[in-house]
Structure 1
Amino acid sequence: HTHTSTPLCVWSLLSHSLSTGELIRADTRLLSLLGCRRFQSSVVNYSTLLLEEDMGLLYVGARGAVFALNATDISDSTARTIEWEASEEQKQQCLSKGKDDKTECYNHIRFLQRFNSTHLYMCGTHAFQPLCAYIDEESFKVSSEFEEGREKCPYGPATGYTGLIVDQQMYTASQYEFQCSPDIRRNDPYPMVRTEEAPTRWFHEADFVGSALVRESEGSTTGDDDKIYYFFTEKSQEQTSYYSHIRVARVGRVCKGDRGGLLTLQKRWTSFLKATLVCSLPEYNLHFNVLRSIYTLPGHTPHDTLFYGVFSPEWKNVKISAVCRFSLSEVQRVFDGPYMENQDSGAEGSEYTGKVPDPRPGSCITDQLRSRGINSSTSLPDDMLNFVRRHPLMSQQVMSTEQRPLLFRRTTDYTQLVAHRVEGLDGQNYHLLFMGTDDGWLHRAVEVKGHLHIIEELQLFDQPQRVDSLVISHTQMSVYVGSPSGVVQLPLSTCNRYNSCYDCIFSRDPYCGWDGQDCLDITAQTDRSNLTQDVLYGNRGCDNEPVQHRSRSVMVVDDVLLQCEISSNLATPVWTLDGSELQGYGLESGFRVGTDGLLVIESQPEQSGEYTCHALENGVRVAVVKYSVTVRLDIAATFCPSPSPPTSELLSPRSMEAMYLSLITILGGLCLVLTVVLLYLGFCLRGSHRGKYSLRAAAAAAASANHTDRKRKHRKQQQKRNGDTHKGGFLQIVPREGQPSPNKDPPPPAPPLPPPPQTPHNPLNQSECDLQDFPSPNGLSATLPSVLRRMHGNSYMLLRQSEAESSSPLCRSFTEELNTILEKRKHTQLLPKPNESSL
């Protein structure tokens, strides 16, 4: 089902552990992902994406190039390219500064935004000499001379950076030069406005991750101004009982119409304020104080805006991620609250309790101020501006909406996320999130009752690589993923992947509904009256579905495994016998349960009956498979429905056992006869001098030999014969001085003895577990002594071994072997109350 012109995309199943709140990748099945498209070229680092919904174009900024792709199918041949790489001379200058010739001394496109209706604007690092230029949209060519970009673009590809063009004005935040402090700037048009550095620094080693424009002037009854919010992590100087970390996550704000002060804070922001973002698990005293990514989800009104952020703790080399959500109303509440005390006064970490100037410091120009003759920031009084200069930080923290993360995951580093609203069949709006990881996976989740429910986890690349950017297109119903190797386009949902009603409903995908036969995309259906969906609970709307029926007929005291394959890794297997749930799975109960199925240990006639495997998920039991098990005394165990190959009576297990015993008896008799013959020859014919045989003749012949060569030759021959003798386990008969009688031939060599049933010596240097295969009593090929044999992928059959074989350190019994496996697998079993699911 993958597009023929694109490389394979793959997806994987998940299972969930409620105790840690993490998702564990349990069963990786590499399958083609429906609707996957890919674009890549000779360049790398496709980190900057700009989607133009109306034009149907996706602009991509990479290292040394900019591309214009067809948003419907990014893999088609209509892609246009602007090549823009630094010259060799500029690369050499970069190298002379001690920069990395593999990453830093290239032109990385860091900024790509629409400037007006006809042009785009882009900026690149240009080998540590940033430049910017305009792009003509129609011709897709650079339409101007390159401009100096050091005030607009960072020098390096890894420096934290965010930028927006709002009403043809460029707002950026970064550490622009490697020796300067981080800064928020409005570059065009002049005059340029920036943050203050003295006497109080407004930023302390800030690392910017995102920014957002919120048009709070629309529909405002107070004549409020639009605001730009910046999200970053910085070094903390305040100390509070709740928050005492070295680095903290922040949100900052400036007013779009801010032009700086007249004398005080001249060409500096007069409206800048910042506050702390709190994403934590209070019950575990675990704080996620480093912000990795932010996404702004617009609401029906500007005041309904939501911010979704990816956070991690400050610990290095520990992969832990959390997703928290913040509301704009909570951010505004904090900015309207008390200020933090002047940090230069020595009273760190305390709330300011003195008099607050009027107008309120950090506020935008409103109708109330205009009525007082303050029409711009240049008219603000000096006492207000001095207060803003020394008190940029708010005392209260911005708490997440649920007072805890929506999702907390171990062993995962989220790098990017995007979100959008989907209306379900119940009329409610659900937030669907896409989250990229540092090793090239994409998680799709829906927010339900204050938690993120993972729908699926998608593996995007053959080799692990970081997800650098994400963009959602509502028109194309696609999500675009930028990475170091290329761009991947995926559909927002592929409902036809679900094959049953329970799969469709349990997925809780707001795009998918069940019509009685298929799982359909509800956005493509004009008539939705016959569709069933349950995003809120994920367990309603399905009737009983057909169940597989199998039968087993086994011998008494045989161990048999009843296989149960559950499609959802979030489901828990529940077994019943004749309608009653099996309680306890210890050794004394006669049953063991594992991920492969139910093991009946030393089956007895009373264990015959109908066994049913149910998948328990979201409080619903779904019958998966039924087994009719018959324990009998007179037949060998068989496996149904797969028929066993026909065997003849001669090759039946009992016939083979009789043949083996007969062979041992015959060989034993021959050995006994040979022993008698040897004794007769040794004692009755000892006195003969010619034509006779003796066990000591070899030594006498060697002592009487006179010729040195003959003596050496004879000794070598004797040593060779003696070596063969000991190796074979028999005495060698050698001639004496005389020649054998011409009328009597030497007796034929004795046939080799069968190996003794209990011998500590193995002349073939083989393990006792590696003997020849014989048909087992149940008609299947097995190894003697018996070991665990895998059958049909997950089933196992048992061949018993004697006590002597069981005591061998090289072979363990079936029970010991299976117990070891089940004990290991027990740690990966699912807990009874998962709160996330996947396909």
Structure 2
Amino acid sequence: TVVIPLLSFFSSLSSGLQGCRRFQSSAVNYNTMLLEADSERLYVGARGAVFALNASDISASSALTIEWEASPEQKRQCLLKGKDNKTECFNHIRFLQRFNSTHLYMCGTHAFRPLCAYINEKTFVMSSQPEEGRDKCPYGPTTGYTALIIDQEMYTASQFEFRSFPDIRRNSPSPTLKTEDAPTRWLNEADFVGSALVRESLGSSTGDDDKIYFFFTEKSQEQTTSYSHSRVTRVARVCKGDRGGRLTLQKRWTSFLKARLLCSLPEYDFHFNMLRSVFVMPGHTPQDTLFYGIFGLEWKNVKASAVCRFSLSEVQKAFQGPYMENQNSGFKWKEYTGKIPDPRPGTCITNALRARDINVSTSLPDDVLDFVRRHPLMSQQVQPSDKRPLLFRKTTDYTHMAVHTSQGLDGQMYHILYMGTDEGWLHKAVEIEGQLHIIEELQLFDEPQPVNSVLISAKQMSVYVGSPSGVVQLSLSNCRRYTSCYDCILARDPHCAWNGAQCVDIMTHTDRSTLIQDIQNGSRGCENTQDDVALRYRSVRVGDDVLLQCELSSNLATPIWTLGGHELQGYGLNSGFRTGTDGLLIIEARQDQSGLYSCYSVENNIKVAIVSYNITICLDLPPPPPRPPPPHPGPLLPHSELLSPRNMQAMYLSLITILGGLCVVLTVVLVYVGFCLRVGNRGKYSLRTAAAAYPNNKRHSRNRKQHRSSSHMELKTISSNCNGNGFLQIVPGEGHPSPNKEPPPPAPPLPPTVQLPSSVCDIPNGLSATLPSVLRRMNSNSYMLLRQSDSENTSPLCYSFAEELNRILEKRKHTQLLPRPDESSV
């Protein structure tokens, strides 16, 4: 099932991002973040600078800065290598972590000559001169990369040298280790996205070692040559205590193994073969560790994302299974069925091996190490929980995620995911019985830009989002945006509950006995609450069109309309009603359609009243008040020579001559302008955009924002048959950009039109057999039926556009609205 966010909030609306804090500077590309909960500091690495921010309020003026940019000479050398002077020839901070109790460690690309440096945490300055970083940091700002500092040892995975193969390394202290390239290449065009330490030695009954897991996408090795370019997602593992082999695999990993991560839709045999982000969720014990991953498609022109969850036990099971064997010089791999050496290749040093005097990896037999060299790939695939994704969205590219746990009022622990998109949105979702329910989506930036990193602070109850333009801090929850009991319950937000008067954050309440929450079902607890329903009055004339608006805050809700307490059934052309996202449209109102109209929101089998309209349809509205009689003429002016007949005749002739000359000039100008317009916009009509007619429609404000540079609308008739009724369709047109400004974004594709038969007049009632029965809204514009035959027996007439528009405007002119009417537009 494709999951839709329950609520949408936009950055252009103040109610959407309440409590949002931002940090920006002259630097760009805020990609690397490190959160220190104890010191309440958020360290941020950008292009050419590192910042220390106050974690409780990143917008505070107490930010500390280290400027670290590449020298002009180094930038010149970068240009000589053929690199881009707008993106690559800078110092992009790719690594920023704690080294010990007093210092941080950072690495930067330094215009394609990587360097690393120590930072004194107390003074926030570089404590030494930068050192060589070729083996610790990639050359480019976008090269796949992940790194960890564990007990002052640095583990990295990337393509380090300029033209080398990617590998996994331990850089310091000695001995340094790396992956093998021959005779079997362990990594095949790998693109790394994440890594994690799992302390599997804690509480281990076998004396097991800690392990470092690496997550990446690489070129497939399991397939034949015809599929050699397909990509697969992997998890690899090395032992923390690995010291390499004595002769075989000297300065190479002896514990390296890798397996495929499978994230797919089984019913469609559809695989997501690109790994974008990984978040490691520690459990109460190491065996309870979970891996959350964001997966995408290899096709760049198709947007789709899936979120899969894997357990550590499933990963361990794959590494304990059968191996794959390389045949035909690497072109074909199949499962190995021969004898496996003892001790098992790729395992860590355990108590059983220590009892055999094998205390370090350099003591392993050569046949074991040679088997490891030739068999790095496991045959068994790692399946996700429930053998399927937690979430699938085919219109979104998620980029990064972070996961937070919260206990609900029912005592259960819920995993809450915060996922950033490539267009600058943040989705908050809760996992319920193996599926993700998206609580809300937040637009973080006015201009689309990708989310580069996401961090969560349980102490500050904040989520931090890094982007190309800056860092955003948001509260983990904002329960005040739910204004009613049903809004609070239907959200199914583990952070929020209803206290009888408002939606509150449960973390701020020690006494939770009176709070109402239903995360599992999202439907119980509000049965005895009463919400005030707005009642509006309107009087209209017979034959007028009336739009009754009903704005639903939830994207999952469905509107239902009643008239006099009875639900309206069917919205065909002959019913006199249309329904859409705007509300209910009464077409050519009749007197028998007067009454009380009520709009209900139906969601999760719950029916909630939203608004009611008392509509009075009159045969004719009261006539306008009579005009006052003309004033009595005053006394005549005294006779003057200037008003003699001879002088008056001369004045009239002069005036006529002047007006005639002006008419000639205006005629020439109008002919010239008309000719230019006919040549430039032949066959088009332009109207001012109608996007501003819906200022309260939050659901489509993002589309209005994206097309605000288009200042005209284009009107096209669907049917070109003059003998049939015209059905005009309002679609976005092309605006005229102002000079010295960038051109507006391209208009969206036209909505689907109605295909009419060749003989429209043969259809009963004009177009009633082909027009849609429901008004659909796109980019804040609704379709408008401008002309329809009055009866089945009347032949349709042909009206020009000007005549039809004048006729409707003339009729609308007489509609009488009550004081303070609600918004209405047709």
Indicate the TM-score class for this superposition, using the shorter chain for normalisation.
Answer: 0.7 to 0.9
**What is the identity percentage for the equivalent residue pairs of Structure 1 and Structure 2?**
67
Distance 1:316 1:795 in 2: 32
Partner of 2:532: 546
Instruction: Report whether the alignment pairs 1:481 with 2:458.
Output: no
Instruction: Report whether the alignment pairs 1:171 with 2:164.
Output: no
Q: Which moved more, 1:584-593 or 1:303-312?
A: 584-593
Q: 2:621 aligns with which of 627, 632, 636?
A: 636
Distance 2:246 2:784 in 1: 88
CA contact (8 A) 1:35 1:491 kept: yes
CA contact (8 A) 1:110 1:123 kept: yes
Q: 1:71 aligns with which of 44, 55, 59?
A: 55
Change (3 A) 1:91 1:561: closer
Give the C-alpha shift of residue 636 in structure 1: 2.9
Give the C-alpha shift of residue 794 in structure 1: 10
Change (3 A) 1:544 1:240: farther
Instruction: Report whether the alignment pairs 1:618 with 2:604.
Output: yes
Partner of 2:799: 808
CA contact (8 A) 2:326 2:333 kept: no
Distance 2:808 2:476 in 1: 45
Q: 1:585 aligns with which of 571, 577, 581?
A: 571
- The residue matched to 1:397 in structure 2 has which SS? coil
In structure 2, what residue type is equivalent to 1:648? P
Instruction: Report whether the alignment pairs 1:598 with 2:598.
Output: no
- The residue matched to 2:172 in structure 1 has which SS? coil
- The residue matched to 1:383 in structure 2 has which SS? helix
After superposition, where does 1:401-440 map in structure 2 within 5 Å?
401-440=385-424
In structure 2, what residue type is equivalent to 1:490? L
Q: Cα deviation per residue 1:484-518 (whole Å; 9 max; x = unaligned)? A: 22111111111112211122112221111111111
CA contact (8 A) 1:805 1:811 kept: no
Distance 1:275 1:447 in 2: 26
Give the C-alpha shift of residue 579 in structure 1: 2.9
Q: Cα deviation per residue 1:771-792 (whole Å; 9 max; x = unaligned)? A: xxxxxxxxxxxxxx99999xxx
CA contact (8 A) 1:562 1:795 kept: no
Distance 1:458 1:336 in 2: 43
Q: Cα deviation per residue 1:59-98 (whole Å; 9 max; x = unaligned)? A: 1111121111111111112111112112111111111111
CA contact (8 A) 2:7 2:554 kept: no
Instruction: Report whether the alignment pairs 1:31 with 2:13.
Output: yes
Q: Cα deviation per residue 1:671-715 (whole Å; 9 max; x = unaligned)? A: xxxxxxxxxxxxxxxxxxxxxxxxxxxxxxxxxxxxxxxxxxxxx
CA contact (8 A) 2:7 2:553 kept: no
Q: Cα deviation per residue 1:190-230 (whole Å; 9 max; x = unaligned)? A: 01011111100001110111100111111111111111000
Instruction: Report whether the alignment pairs 1:569 with 2:555.
Output: yes
- The residue matched to 1:309 in structure 2 has which SS? strand
- The residue matched to 2:316 in structure 1 has which SS? helix
Structure 1 gaps of 5+ residues are 1-17, 638-645, 652-716, 728-764, 771-784, 819-839
Partner of 1:325: 309
Distance 1:319 1:149 in 2: 36
Instruction: Report whether the alignment pairs 1:226 with 2:210.
Output: yes
Q: Cα deviation per residue 1:355-410 (whole Å; 9 max; x = unaligned)? A: 11111111111111111211111111111111111111111111111322222223
Distance 1:413 1:204 in 2: 25
CA contact (8 A) 2:9 2:443 kept: no
Give the C-alpha shift of residue 330 in structure 1: 1.0
CA contact (8 A) 2:11 2:445 kept: no
Partner of 2:625: 648
CA contact (8 A) 2:108 2:137 kept: yes
Change (3 A) 1:797 1:474: same
RMSD (Å), alpha carbons: 3.5
Instruction: Report whether the alignment pairs 1:560 with 2:579.
Output: no
Q: 1:498 aligns with which of 482, 485, 489?
A: 482
- The residue matched to 1:462 in structure 2 has which SS? coil
Q: 1:87 aligns with which of 45, 49, 71?
A: 71
Distance 1:102 1:800 in 2: 56
- The residue matched to 2:380 in structure 1 has which SS? strand
Aligned residues: 667
Partner of 2:131: 147
Q: Cα deviation per residue 1:577-599 (whole Å; 9 max; x = unaligned)? A: 33332221112233221112222
Q: 2:262 aligns with which of 251, 270, 278?
A: 278
Change (3 A) 1:350 1:786: closer
Give the C-alpha shift of residue 614 in structure 1: 0.8
CA contact (8 A) 1:563 1:795 kept: no
Q: Which moved more, 1:587-596 or 1:197-206?
A: 587-596
CA contact (8 A) 1:151 1:187 kept: yes
Partner of 1:379: 363
Distance 1:817 1:280 in 2: 54
- The residue matched to 1:513 in structure 2 has which SS? strand
Distance 1:801 1:251 in 2: 64
Give the C-alpha shift of residue 432 in structure 1: 1.0
Q: Cα deviation per residue 1:742-780 (whole Å; 9 max; x = unaligned)? A: xxxxxxxxxxxxxxxxxxxxxxx999999xxxxxxxxxx
Distance 1:285 1:811 in 2: 56
Instruction: Report whether the alignment pairs 1:135 with 2:119.
Output: yes
After superposition, where does 1:14-413 map in structure 2 within 5 Å?
20-21=2-3, 30-32=12-14, 33-239=17-223, 246-344=230-328, 348-413=332-397
In structure 1, what residue type is equivalent to 2:801? L
Change (3 A) 1:146 1:603: closer
Q: Which moved more, 1:337-346 or 1:380-389?
A: 337-346
Q: 2:441 aligns with which of 438, 457, 460?
A: 457
- The residue matched to 1:222 in structure 2 has which SS? coil
Change (3 A) 1:558 1:148: closer
CA contact (8 A) 1:559 1:797 kept: no
- The residue matched to 1:177 in structure 2 has which SS? coil
Distance 2:684 2:452 in 1: 53
Q: Which moved more, 1:283-292 or 1:220-229?
A: 283-292
In structure 2, what residue type is equivalent to 1:30? S
Distance 2:174 2:323 in 1: 31
Distance 1:559 1:618 in 2: 33
In structure 1, what residue type is equivalent to 2:117? A
Distance 1:376 1:786 in 2: 82
After superposition, where does 1:503-542 map in structure 2 within 5 Å?
503-542=487-526
Q: Cα deviation per residue 1:139-165 (whole Å; 9 max; x = unaligned)? A: 112112322111111111111110000
TM-score by length of 1: 0.74
In structure 2, what residue type is equivalent to 1:272? F
Partner of 2:767: none
Q: Cα deviation per residue 1:450-470 (whole Å; 9 max; x = unaligned)? A: 222222222222222221111
TM-score by length of 2: 0.75
Distance 1:799 1:255 in 2: 73
Give the C-alpha shift of residue 335 in structure 1: 0.9
Distance 2:19 2:501 in 1: 22
Distance 2:683 2:276 in 1: 57
Change (3 A) 1:768 1:211: closer
- The residue matched to 2:207 in structure 1 has which SS? coil
Distance 1:298 1:65 in 2: 32
In structure 1, what residue type is equivalent to 2:12? L
Distance 1:612 1:243 in 2: 59
Distance 2:226 2:54 in 1: 50
Partner of 1:776: none
Change (3 A) 1:608 1:43: closer
Distance 2:394 2:62 in 1: 42
Change (3 A) 1:767 1:38: closer
- The residue matched to 1:399 in structure 2 has which SS? coil
